[in-house]
Structure 1
Amino acid sequence: MSIMNWSSLSLFSSKPLPLCKGKISVGAITKVLLRDLPPGRIVVIQHRDLDEVVAQELIDHKVKAVINCQITMSGAYPTQGPLMLLQQNIPIWEAEAAIFQDFIPNSEIVIYEDRIILEDRHISCSAFTREKWLNLQQLANDQSTRLLEQFIENTLTYAMREKKTVMEPLPLLSLRTNFEGKHVLIVSRGKGYKKDLLAAKAFIAEVKPILIGVDGGADALLECGYQPHMIVGDMDSVTDRALSCGAELIVHAYPDGTAPGLTRTNALGVFAHVLPCFGTSEDAALLLAFEKRGEWLVTVGAHTHMIDFMEKGREGMGSTLLVRMKIGARLVDIKSIGVFYKKPYVWTKEACSTVFLSLFFIGLGLFQLHWILKRVTHVVWKLGGQG
């Protein structure tokens, strides 16, 4: 008599099922990883306080899951980044920072609820859930007043230190791009920058401004079908494709002239000017366009408030405050002027079909009305003749 092995039946098996499996892409610097990230990957990153811009980039790259070997959200400030991923059904697992180096690019992994199988290794992990995000978001909101106070103090302290620097002209660069009397569109990788750039289509078509990409902003221009005239930045998030597109390259250097971005441009064999300037690369691009006598300086994806700068790892915005004060009324955001450059209505096939069918049925109705009136007139005439 044979005995049935009940444990072999899947219905009674206690073995957990994997929640996710696939090939991984590994990057200690997320914006560098995103340059050439193929779709459908599980990404392994080290990104403390996952911000909204990076979250949207991961969504756009159609990642399968995120393994973060850092604190995904500390609660230091409010952010929607992790929630954006979870809302798109992209799970997040957190693992210890020490095991980041154990992940081998392009290897296959299997993820269970509390562990990751990497070859023959079992790595502990924990899921980052919506409940955890909600608790940390509430914590961040509760201490927002104290955070704002610290941010203001930092901003004013550095503004006082750099107020003389902002009054000095930039080093003279011999550029082929002529700014004088022309409007300038400056694209940065800020929140919603891709959406705002799409909304600027009518403005670009009508005004034909000089197009400047600040680091990865150049890739956004190329993705929308525009050729950037100039790329300004430390060249850490822009792709090789953008750097080789023919745009004039300006490597943003530290005030002492140190320019880490030159290593990248030299490796590609492309010429780049060096621009020593305080502040961010966005500040440098704005000052350059201003001093080269550009007319309107229109920003897309610009960093303008506390959370924007906290997500970039900056505890203040002293340089940005000074630059905006110097440029004054010539600086506007695309959201402010986009309403004046609405895309003209285009007759689509659907619209033409709707109008045609409407006219057809109106004509049919008039024909039927004409037939009915004709019959009524005929009947009335016959009745009148009989009388």
Structure 2
Amino acid sequence: MRNPFRRTPPSGSDRSTRVVRVDSRTKRLTKRLQSGEVAVIDHADLDRVAAEALVECRPSAVLNAAPSVSGRYPNLGPGVLVEAGIPLVDDLGPEVMRLHDGQRVIIRDGTVLLPDEEQPVAEGTRQSAETVEASMASARKGLAVQLEAFAANTIEYMRGEWDLLLNGVGMPEVSTQMGGRHVLVVVRGYSYKEDLRALRPYIREYKPVIIGVDGGADAVLEAGLKPHMIVGDMDSVSDRALSCGAEIVVHAYRDGRAPGLERVEELGVSHHVFSATGTSEDIAMLMADEADAEIIVALGTHATLVEFLDKGRSGMSSTFLTRLKVGGRLIDAKGVSRLYRTRISGWWLLLLALAGVLALTAALMSTPGGQTFLGLFGAIWDDIVNFFRSLVGLSPRPPTV
């Protein structure tokens, strides 16, 4: 299937200038990146979620100061950009980050130049489908090392957080009632928009408690829904979401540092602080489990080893243990949009309805009572038609026989 974002990339000799937007945090950059501009990032092992966010902005190119594939594991982000036809110039070094918003550059293969200077700003590697695939093949060989490190991190997390995992020690006292109810945890992860749309019938019927994890709260609002609770370090959630009336739980580190706490306090919204290692999606699921939720539906969360590594945190082992803890209640909604798509078009439904009307009419005409009913209906229809004809000055239509 043709990618809707795909377009013909510029040639190597293209000398047209383009406006750049620069930020070391990719998800922060995508909030202001406009179509046709150049994204300048510093994102080693570019993950799929970040790449999909970039594609949605439709940049003319992406310049990465870091290697988009370091070889640690087969990350999926570079392939997403290349498949969308967006030029990716890789490993440009810290020099490219010295560009500033609004500045114009020329991109010639793997070289970035200023329009009025011959000296290049930075030089890197222009990625293609072939180079990305070669990097992926090499990176797959490193999965064994990553799996060993992942196992070590899991044991370390279990030793430090066993009281939280097993006994719920340290859980904040929240007012959102989740006992005996379905809880939908929304994370801005793979296919989250498609899966959220596919779950609309479920949400209408069961009316679950909706927990938005950081930017997942904005995804809920964009879908026309409202989160009951927002959990996270508040680095990617909008002020609009934080002010929507949801209960706020700020996820802090174990040492008490909470980078997003100052922002929440400035907005003047009431909140709780929950200090724990691991990820915010883990916290959301553990809170729902501790509150005795009937079902926990996880949407956009991370489940596979590559997804854990793609998240870019060694602490993703906490998600593995959290899933073991809440496994009896947990239902993963990942890919539900692919699993189920309606196979009946609107035209088939219309034809089915017309066939039903014709069958009902034939049944009525076969009985005296039905014939009388149809005669009365015809007379009423004639009266309605003649009324509208008289409004426009036309003569009455002869009655239906």
Matched, 1:41 2:37: yes
Deviation at 1:80, TM superposition (A): 2.3
Which one of the candidate residues 92, 109, 115 is aligned to 2:111?
115
Matched, 1:22 2:21: no
Deviation at 1:172, TM superposition (A): 5.5
Query: Aligned to 2:302, what secondary structure does the other structure show?
Result: coil
Deviation at 1:266, TM superposition (A): 2.5
Query: Aligned to 1:17, what secondary structure does the other structure show?
Result: coil
2:314 alignment counterpart = 315
Structure 2 CA distance, aligned partners of 1:118 and 1:95? 18
Structure 2 CA distance, aligned partners of 1:339 and 1:65? 30
Deviation at 1:134, TM superposition (A): 1.5
1:372 alignment counterpart = none
2:95 alignment counterpart = 99
Deviations 1:121-158 (A, max 9, x none): 43232312222211111111233334323322332343
Structure 2 CA distance, aligned partners of 1:289 and 1:257? 22
Structure 2 CA distance, aligned partners of 1:78 and 1:68? 17
Relative distance call for 1:25 and 1:184 in structure 2 (3 A) is same
Which one of the candidate residues 331, 346, 356 is aligned to 1:348?
346
CA contact (8 A) 2:308 2:317 kept: no
Deviates more, 1:245-254 or 1:97-106: 97-106
Deviations 1:187-213 (A, max 9, x none): 112222222222211111111101111
1:283 alignment counterpart = 282
User: One-letter code of the match for 2:53?
Assistant: E
1:187 alignment counterpart = 186
Deviations 1:265-323 (A, max 9, x none): 22333332211223111111111112222221110011112111211222354322332
Deviation at 1:326, TM superposition (A): 2.5
CA contact (8 A) 2:68 2:78 kept: yes
Structure 1 CA distance, aligned partners of 2:150 and 2:274? 28
Structure 2 CA distance, aligned partners of 1:114 and 1:169? 52
Query: Aligned to 1:155, what secondary structure does the other structure show?
Result: helix
CA contact (8 A) 2:71 2:142 kept: no
Larger Rg: 1
Structure 2 CA distance, aligned partners of 1:314 and 1:148? 13
2:47 alignment counterpart = 51
1:175 alignment counterpart = 174
2:395 alignment counterpart = none
Query: Aligned to 2:157, what secondary structure does the other structure show?
Result: helix
CA RMSD of aligned residues (A): 3.1
- Output the TM-score relative to the length of structure 1: 0.79
Structure 2 CA distance, aligned partners of 1:267 and 1:242? 14
Relative distance call for 1:195 and 1:256 in structure 2 (3 A) is same
Query: Aligned to 2:202, what secondary structure does the other structure show?
Result: helix
**Percentage identity across aligned positions?**
39
Structure 1 CA distance, aligned partners of 2:16 and 2:85? 12
1:79 alignment counterpart = 75
Structure 2 CA distance, aligned partners of 1:133 and 1:19? 25
User: One-letter code of the match for 1:207?
Assistant: Y
User: One-letter code of the match for 1:180?
Assistant: G
2:246 alignment counterpart = 247
Deviations 1:82-138 (A, max 9, x none): 111111111101253321342111222221224223353432323122222111111
Report how many residues are paired.
345
Gaps of 5+ in 2: 1-11, 359-401
